[in-house]
């Protein structure tokens, strides 16, 4: 598979309204600017961290020198007060932090992890307000008129990087899912140039601690502790396409869109540690009537090079891996068309459906033939 997902091992939200409380086990991560009943604006910022060993393994052993990219993705649970143009900013966090075990409205409050004031636990390790780690520069921001010092910190520039800031704009009616390229940051983590302390997500400076009643955006995203299929994810993509469809084999490519495509030997159940190469059986639905001793139904053909796969969650019909002309192109060897899936990049204990798309003779055809499988622990 040329698309591989990993999920966070910790995330939390920092609320300036609750400066000493930890929210490390909340099912929701929040980014907002809200007016409280006292008329003052309060801010929420979210933290998300992925395992550095997993990142290193993917780059070294799966991508292994191929061309690649990586996106951070987070899925909206609820959005309110979004103006015609709202911007979220993402940065690499500059300081280590603890997840903690707090949840919203805990009574008494939980203080054993990152809070607005502290990175580790309340009163033990305050967020640094700025400085440098070698050539890497970091900062923070808070408004002393409305809150105490804190709110995390982040690298903003460094060696070979003018700005680490990654942004995504949202409109009133646009999708509110986060999907941004973060290769510069991940590459720095991989090289060890900066420590992997995860991402901080916040509103733009002009939107934070803004007392205007017209500026109260609320973004609530599913966290890693969600009971849904929408935890945040780091989505790696690389080009693993290869083909032997040149020369004499090019005559085996189908040219008529009336064809049959099936999976060869799909067992239907895979362990989440497995890697499977799915092979395709391709044949014309109505082969021409010619005189020969072998059946044309037994002669495997090939899809055109403009053929791609996708993966859907069977229960929700959500695209877990969408068709992509660069990263889900179907390969071909001397045996058949094929593509590879790493099952540990998918949520276990769920059913998935494979779809095949191909462009033949000027038309696009999608094969949705109930190619199902389940991943088990």
Q: Where are the domains of the chain?
A: 3-237, 242-376
If residue 372 lies in a helix (H) or strand (E), which one and from where to where? strand 363-376
Residue 350 CB neighbour total at 10 angstroms: 16
What is the predicted pLDDT for the residue at 211?
94
Q: Residue 173: pLDDT above 70?
A: yes
pLDDT digits (tens, 9 = 90+) for 220-247: 999 999 999 999 999 999 999 999 988 7
* CA–CA dist 366, 193 (Å, integer): 44
As a whole number, mean pLDDT of residues 177-194 equals: 98
Those residues with Cβ within 8 angstroms of residue 187's Cβ, 6 or more apart along the chain or in another chain = none
Nearest to 6 by CA among 221, 209, 212, 186: 186
pLDDT of residue 287: 64
Give 31's contacts (C-beta < 8 A, 6+ positions apart): 44, 45, 46, 88, 201, 202, 203, 218, 219, 221
How is residue 121 written in tokens? 């636990």
**Model pTM score:** 0.92
DSSP class of residue 53?
Answer: H
Average pLDDT, integer, range 292-312:
79
For the record, the structure tokens of 198 come out as 């995860």
Cis amide leading into 63 (omega within 30):
no
pLDDT at position 269 over 90:
yes
Q: How many CA atoms lie within 13 A of 230 on its CB side?
A: 18
Tell me the backbone φ, ψ of residue 278, rounded to 5 degrees: -85, 120
Q: By C-alpha distance, which of 132, 154, 159 is closest to 205?
A: 154
How far CA 114 is from CA of 7, 307, 319, in Å, comes to 20, 47, 34
The highest-confidence range among 63-77, 256-270, 360-374, by mean pLDDT, is 63-77
Least confident stretch, 130-134, 230-234, 296-300, 305-309? 296-300
CATH architecture, range 242-376: Sandwich (2.60)
Give the model's pLDDT for residue 296: 47
The number of beta carbons lying within 10 Å of the beta carbon of residue 62 is 18
């Amino acid at each position: 598979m040329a698309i591989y997902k990993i999920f966070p091992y910790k995330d939390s939200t920092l609320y300036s309204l609750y400066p000493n409380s930890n929210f490390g086990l909340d099912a929701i991560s929040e980014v907002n600017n809200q007016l409280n009943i006292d008329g003052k604006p309060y801010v929420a910022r979210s933290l998300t961290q992925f395992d550095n060993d997993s990142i290193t393994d993917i780059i070294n052993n799966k991508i292994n020198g191929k061309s690649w990219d990586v996106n951070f993705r987070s899925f909206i649970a609820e959005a309110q007060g979004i103006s015609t143009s709202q911007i979220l900013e993402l940065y690499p966090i500059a300081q280590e932090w603890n997840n903690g075990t707090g949840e919203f409205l805990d009574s008494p409050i939980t203080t054993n992890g990152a809070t607005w004031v502290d990175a580790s636990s309340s009163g033990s390790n305050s967020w640094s307000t700025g400085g440098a780690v070698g050539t890497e520069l970091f900062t923070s921001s808070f408004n002393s008129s409305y809150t105490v010092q804190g709110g995390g910190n982040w690298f903003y520039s460094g060696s070979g990087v003018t700005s680490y800031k990654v942004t995504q704009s949202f409109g009133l009616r646009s999708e509110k899912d986060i999907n941004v390229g973060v290769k510069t940051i991940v590459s720095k983590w991989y090289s060890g140039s900066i420590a992997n302390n995860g991402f901080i997500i916040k509103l733009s400076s002009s939107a934070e601690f803004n007392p205007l009643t017209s500026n109260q955006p609320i973004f609530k995203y599913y966290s890693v502790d969600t009971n849904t299929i929408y935890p945040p994810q780091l989505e790696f993509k690389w080009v693993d396409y290869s083909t032997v469809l040149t020369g004499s084999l090019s005559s085996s490519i189908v040219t008529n869109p009336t064809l049959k495509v099936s999976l060869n030997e799909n067992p239907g159940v895979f362990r989440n540690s497995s890697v499977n190469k799915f092979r395709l059986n391709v044949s014309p639905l109505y082969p021409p009537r010619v005189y020969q001793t072998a059946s044309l139904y037994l002669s495997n053909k090939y899809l055109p090079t403009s053929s791609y796969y996708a993966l859907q969650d069977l229960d929700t019909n959500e695209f877990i891996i969408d068709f992509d002309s660069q990263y889900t192109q179907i390969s071909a060897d001397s045996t058949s068309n094929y593509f590879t899936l790493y099952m540990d990049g998918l949520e276990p204990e769920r059913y998935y459906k494979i779809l095949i798309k191909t462009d033949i003779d000027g038309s696009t055809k999608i094969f949705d033939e109930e190619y199902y499988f389940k991943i088990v622990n």
